[in-house]
Structure 1
Amino acid sequence: MKSVRRLFSIFLVVSICISLFAGCDKKSTGDWKIGIITGTVSQNEEEYRAAQTTKQKFIDEYGEDKVILQTYPEKFMDEQETVIANIAGIAADPKVKALVVCQGVPGTSAAIDKVLETRDDLLIIVGTSGEDPNMIADRADVCFQMDELGMGTAVIDQAKKQGAETFVHYSFPRHMSYALLAARRDLFKENCEKYGIKFVDATAPDPTGDAGPSGAQQFIIEDVPKKVQQYGEDTAFFSTNCAMQPPLIKSVFQQHAIYPQPCCPSPYHGFPAALEIEIPEDKKGDTGYVIDEIRRINAENDMTGRMSTWPVPVNMMFIEAGAQYAKQWIEGKFKEKINEEKIKECFTDYAKTDDGEEIAINISLLEENGKQFDNYFLVLIDFIDL
């Protein structure tokens, strides 16, 4: 009798377990999390939104929260200890198996050093680094960056097609201390000379300075009309800073000037805010909708073809595709931390149009002073006219 009861008990337990598993729509493949670190909404809203989107996608896929979100401070140059503390704080959670940092602001390398003191098992991905490539590539496992040097030629080619006779480059000393941004500025100047375009090197306030982002934005609002008055409508404008893009786009639009691309090429970067585009709930994440709205507004104001960008929001791609890459690594889909084919696959999957059409993405490895980095991937995508 006892044997019968025991067998019945075992059968009951097994039946309950089977029913529980069968009743779950989503199954977790392990007790892990991914940490995503971005700027604040005022510094770069699209990066923060990309992190939120990734978080929700993982909840939908696994039925549980797999993503920890964190931001670095707005004035990160003055608060690098906070940058370090925020990144190291996420890594202190033993469930976190990967970090995706975008943008890699100054202080990121020091934060990774702190993390590696206790965690050498993490996959660390850094997108759009503001630190020296040698420094960040030696610490992060994988780095993603727009092909800044390729843009040094591509942006001027595009400005020439748009009819630019003058090219204004807004930046500030901190950004010009970044090797890639400084080298790109030099290429801008060189290619302007080749095409007979006047190059204007304009210094703007640093948004991490005393005046903050609002002070830098106000400068742009006031300075663009002065530059157009001085050089004419066929003046192309470019700024190296994210927070400056909305006022720059708005001012270019009002002055009927030229805008080849945002600093971080994307239909979302600055355009919706500058052109007052309301995105309905059912169109959130619909890049085609945003592009159509920008084109409609430009057409109504005789600005067709005087603005352009990349069809893919590049920093959002670094975050969302980077998180997918990290997830596959955590789940054992591949073992090595640097897998170029998987990176291309994740980028390509992200960049597909709503119709499933693949957008051509040119990926190369950074080469600097004769040294090729095997973990520093550069991305270049062709323009779409707006």
Structure 2
Amino acid sequence: MKQLKRLFSIFLVLALTVSMFVGCGKKSTGDWKIGIITGTVAQNEEEYRAAQRTKEVFMERYGEDKVILQTYPEKFMDEQETVIANIAGIAADPKVKALVICQAVPGTSAAIDKVLETRDDLLIIAATSGEDPNMIADRADLCFQMDEVGMGTAIVEQIKKQGAETLVHYSFPRHMSYALLAARRDLLKENCKKEGIKFVDATAPDPTGDAGISGAQQFILEDVPKKIKQYGEDTAFFSTNCSMQPPLIKSILQQHGIYPQPCCPSPYHGFPSALQIEIPEDKKGDANYVVEQIRRINAENNMTGRMSTWPVPVNMMFIEAGAEYASQWIEGKWGDKIDNEKLKECFVDYTSNYGDDIDINVTLLEENGKKFDNYFLVLIDYIDL
């Protein structure tokens, strides 16, 4: 009996010791991962950096690697099979429980179809889609998009405040085949007419075409001075393409034009490279620092108030807040894949990093009388630079 009591005591001590070590460690969250698919650094650096930051944040939080990063090719229109293979390749890992795709370039729907052949358990988030809303919304669980149509009014209101007499809209046939981008262009044209602002529909080279990104950027650098000479300094410029933003900002600064916003509104989108803003290590992720530097450079060039953007990097928000939403869903914080209130909480939590008084408007897409229950549109007010 004494020996049995001694064995029981030893077992109790061992059990308590093990429980102490388990309690002191990081909370076990299950063996899961999230796949994040973005463009390359050349196509849109901030999206790629947002994915990297998410990976680092989750590593620190969970004590293990929870994020798999993947990119789609720069010439994704010519390499649809690679787009499909890259997305499907991540989903083939059984540990992956969610995908966050930003931007959801053409080919994403076909990739999701491929994924769904073997995986119907994934949470799939598609942000900033280049495909028809009906197509992508039928496949992805949640879709995030800037309120492109809402911008058709907001941009004109902004350039009117900035004193614009002309708006030059740079795009190309591929982008104008996107329903929301085309609807925004039409609304910009309509609102410019109402406000007495001349609207110029300018065609630029497609960066995914033969000229590539460098050819499209060179076109912008050469064309902006021509447009300023033709229409005057009170000419505002807007381009639908990410890679065109740095040369557009650079040329507008030199020619003293007007720049209401990047295509993907953000202090990071195009400004740092165009204005050669060096961001110290301790200021990484500090949007307020970037805004201060943009304002300083604009003031030095007599450009104060002639540039603006959203205070929150919206595509970065789609990636980071989307991954946060996915991680909470994976961990069973709620059951349904679509939870409007939880999603808004994730968006609001993200915007709080950029200020307490930022008003973010989240609505559901309604198109041709159809209201989507999983297609979320975001609109944020401007800050002047």
* Band of TM-score, shorter chain: over 0.9
Aligned to 1:368: 367
Aligned to 2:67: 67
The aligned runs of 1:206-221 (5 Å cut-off) are: 206-221=206-221
Deviation string for 1:151-208 (max 9, x for gaps)?
Answer: 0010011011101111000001100000110111001111111111111111111111
The aligned runs of 1:231-270 (5 Å cut-off) are: 231-270=231-270
Aligned to 2:173: 173
Q: Secondary structure at the match of 1:52?
A: helix
Q: Secondary structure at the match of 1:97?
A: strand
Q: Distance in 2 between matches of 1:132 and 1:121?
A: 24
Aligned to 1:306: 306
Q: Is the 8 A contact 1:351 1:358 kept in 2?
A: no
Aligned identity (percent) is 79
Q: Is the 8 A contact 1:34 1:68 kept in 2?
A: yes
Aligned to 1:196: 196
Q: Distance in 2 between matches of 1:270 and 1:305?
A: 17
Aligned to 1:123: 123
Aligned to 1:83: 83
Q: Distance in 2 between matches of 1:337 and 1:91?
A: 17
Q: Secondary structure at the match of 2:267?
A: coil
Q: Is the 8 A contact 1:348 1:358 kept in 2?
A: no
* Greater mean alpha carbon deviation, residues 3-12 or residues 101-110: 3-12
Q: Distance in 2 between matches of 1:9 and 1:178?
A: 70
Residue 45 (1) aligns with residue 45 (2): yes
Q: Is the 8 A contact 1:109 1:135 kept in 2?
A: yes
Q: Secondary structure at the match of 1:125?
A: strand
Aligned to 1:346: 346
Aligned to 2:152: 152
Q: Distance in 2 between matches of 1:28 and 1:216?
A: 49
Q: Secondary structure at the match of 1:163?
A: coil
Deviation string for 1:34-74 (max 9, x for gaps)?
Answer: 11000000000000000011111101111111111100010
1:379 counterpart letter in structure 2: V
Aligned to 1:357: 356
Deviation at 1:222, TM superposition (A): 0.8
Deviation at 1:84, TM superposition (A): 0.5
2:106 counterpart letter in structure 1: P
Q: What is the TM-score when the length of structure 1 is the normalising length?
A: 0.97
Q: Secondary structure at the match of 1:261?
A: coil
Q: Secondary structure at the match of 1:352?
A: helix
Q: Secondary structure at the match of 1:264?
A: coil
Q: Distance in 1 between matches of 2:14 and 2:87?
A: 43
Deviation string for 1:216-271 (max 9, x for gaps)?
Answer: 11111111111111111100000000000000000000100000000000000000
Q: Distance in 1 between matches of 2:384 and 2:357?
A: 18
2:330 counterpart letter in structure 1: I
Q: Distance in 1 between matches of 2:69 and 2:7?
A: 48
Q: Secondary structure at the match of 2:128?
A: strand
Q: Is the 8 A contact 1:28 1:63 kept in 2?
A: no
Aligned to 1:3: 4
Deviation at 1:4, TM superposition (A): 5.1
* Greater mean alpha carbon deviation, residues 174-183 or residues 9-18: 9-18
Q: Distance in 2 between matches of 1:243 and 1:45?
A: 9
Deviation at 1:211, TM superposition (A): 1.6
2:218 counterpart letter in structure 1: Q
Q: Distance in 2 between matches of 1:240 and 1:12?
A: 66
Deviation at 1:22, TM superposition (A): 3.6
Aligned-pair Cα RMSD in Å: 1.2
Q: Distance in 2 between matches of 1:213 and 1:294?
A: 24
Q: Secondary structure at the match of 2:371?
A: strand
Q: Distance in 2 between matches of 1:62 and 1:56?
A: 10
2:144 counterpart letter in structure 1: F
1:309 counterpart letter in structure 2: T
Deviation string for 1:65-103 (max 9, x for gaps)?
Answer: 111110001000011111111111111111111100000
Q: Distance in 2 between matches of 1:194 and 1:217?
A: 32
Aligned to 1:381: 380
Deviation at 1:6, TM superposition (A): 4.2
Q: How many residues align?
A: 384
Q: Distance in 1 between matches of 2:143 and 2:53?
A: 21
Structure 1 runs (4+) deviating above 4 angstroms are none
Q: Secondary structure at the match of 1:60?
A: helix
Deviation at 1:2, TM superposition (A): 5.9
2:305 counterpart letter in structure 1: G
Q: Distance in 2 between matches of 1:166 and 1:127?
A: 31
Aligned to 1:134: 134
Aligned to 2:327: 327
Q: Distance in 1 between matches of 2:84 and 2:128?
A: 17
Q: Distance in 2 between matches of 1:324 and 1:21?
A: 25
Aligned to 2:186: 186
Deviation at 1:20, TM superposition (A): 2.4
